[in-house]
Amino acid sequence: MASSSSTTCRTSTMSHLARPTKSQPIGFQTGKIAMSMVATWDIPGWTPTIDFDWDIVRPPRRKVKIGDGRVSGMAILSATKHVEDAWQWIKYLSIGLGQEFKQITAGAIHPIKSKARNDTFMKRTQPPYNMEAFIQEAELGGGPPLFRYWAEYNDMCSAEITRAYANEVTVKEALDTCVQKTEYLLANGKLP
């Protein structure tokens, strides 16, 4: 699965052989990348910068039905002298007006399941519209690792792409190396 995914990524990127410069943004929001794995917290920063119509789709599934539903935790330091203030802040962000703002900006799924499919979150008037995709992913549960050796793969391929970004190798060389190392990792259960 990862090998075909990395090959697909390689093929998509290779079609333009685009190497960003340090002053040039690289992300999906530039329109130079066709798809990107995102989380709800990416959306508030992207929405004002995207000048094309876009939406959310769920990733393809094979036999394993696991979602990429992650949570963000908040904590109060045991040594704080402001326990009550900290608790009020957490409530504000998680179930108060702060959460309402997150619903407007599509920055988070409401943490209370019965409120997750609220009109503010689900009936958006600007992209992305398909917020149901995020909720369905969360309902599947799970999250990284998306496959065995995810952490190793993530570190390894990020390092290769960084080399292309720094003009140490071509984009093709970086992606070819990433595919080769990924196939080795999946076949042998260890880094090459």
Quick one: pLDDT at residue 3? Answer: 34
Mean predicted confidence (pLDDT) in 159-176: 86
Q: CB-side exposure of 156: number of CA atoms within 13 Å? A: 21
Mean predicted confidence (pLDDT) in 137-151: 71
* pLDDT tens per residue across span 17-53: 444 455 555 567 777 777 777 778 888 888 888 888 8
Question: Rounded distance, CA 159 to CA 169, Å?
Answer: 12
* pLDDT tens per residue across span 146-155: 667 777 877 8
pLDDT band per the 50, 70, 90 thresholds, residue 66 = low
Is 127 in contact with 159 (CB distance < 8 Å)? no
Alpha helix stretches (DSSP H) within the chain: 2-14, 43-46, 83-94, 97-105, 119-122, 132-140, 150-165, 171-188
Quick one: pLDDT at residue 82? Answer: 95
Mean predicted confidence (pLDDT) in 121-128: 89
Which residues are CB-neighbours of 69 under 8 A, at least 6 positions away?
137, 138, 139, 140, 141, 142, 143
Residue ranges per structural domain of the chain: 2-66+145-188, 83-124
The mean pLDDT of the chain is: 77
pLDDT band per the 50, 70, 90 thresholds, residue 143 = low
Is 6 in contact with 181 (CB distance < 8 Å)? no
The answer on pLDDT for 4 being more than 60 is: no
Quick one: pLDDT at residue 6? Answer: 36
Quick one: pLDDT at residue 13? Answer: 41
